[in-house]
Amino acid sequence: MNKRPLSPHLQVYRLPLSAVISITHRIMSVGMYMLVFFFIAYLYAMREVSCFDCINGIINSWFGQLKIYGIILCGSFFLASEFRYILWSYGKCFDKEVVEFSNYMILVAAGILAALLFWGV
């Protein structure tokens, strides 16, 4: 009996970068909801000074700054990859070379945009 798998599984099959970016785009869209809850908690904390000082202390800590940078990176990645999906909706940029180039441009644009937004340059 043949013991080979009928379909490729993740141990032997490497996903193309465009598939990884597509999956990451969906994960980042779920991660964007974290921003909404974070913003609501921040607005709720503004009601009392002691609670606001506690939340503000968390935000200004290294862990809070890392979390804020992660949220900004989620938004930047989502925005950069959404531009490509808009172009695809109009039937543009389906050539293999353009798709491969846009994969790397999404990663670079998300990193640059996140750095610019985080450090306020």
CATH of the domain at 31: 1.20.1300.10
97 has a pLDDT exceeding 90: yes
Residue 25 near residue 106, CB atoms below 8 Å: no
Q: Examine residue 57 and state whether it is found in any structural domain, yes or no.
A: yes
Residue 34: pLDDT band by 50, 70, 90 thresholds?
confident
Number of domains forming the structure of the chain: 1
Question: Which of 4-18, 37-51, 57-71 holds the top average pLDDT?
Answer: 57-71
Residue pointed to by tokens 């921003």: 35
Q: Examine residue 13 and state whether it is found in any structural domain, yes or no.
A: no
User: Residue 41's pLDDT is what?
Assistant: 81
Q: Examine residue 102 and state whether it is found in any structural domain, yes or no.
A: yes
Q: Examine residue 33 and state whether it is found in any structural domain, yes or no.
A: yes
Q: Examine residue 15 and state whether it is found in any structural domain, yes or no.
A: no
What is the distance between the alpha carbons of residues 81 and 67, in angstroms, rounded to a whole number? Answer: 21
Q: Examine residue 95 and state whether it is found in any structural domain, yes or no.
A: yes
Q: How many CB atoms lie within 10 A of CB 64?
A: 15
Q: Examine residue 47 and state whether it is found in any structural domain, yes or no.
A: yes
Rounded mean pLDDT of 62-75?
Answer: 89
Residue 68: pLDDT band by 50, 70, 90 thresholds?
confident
pTM exceeds 0.85 for this model: no
* Helices then strands, each counted (H, E), the chain: 4, 0
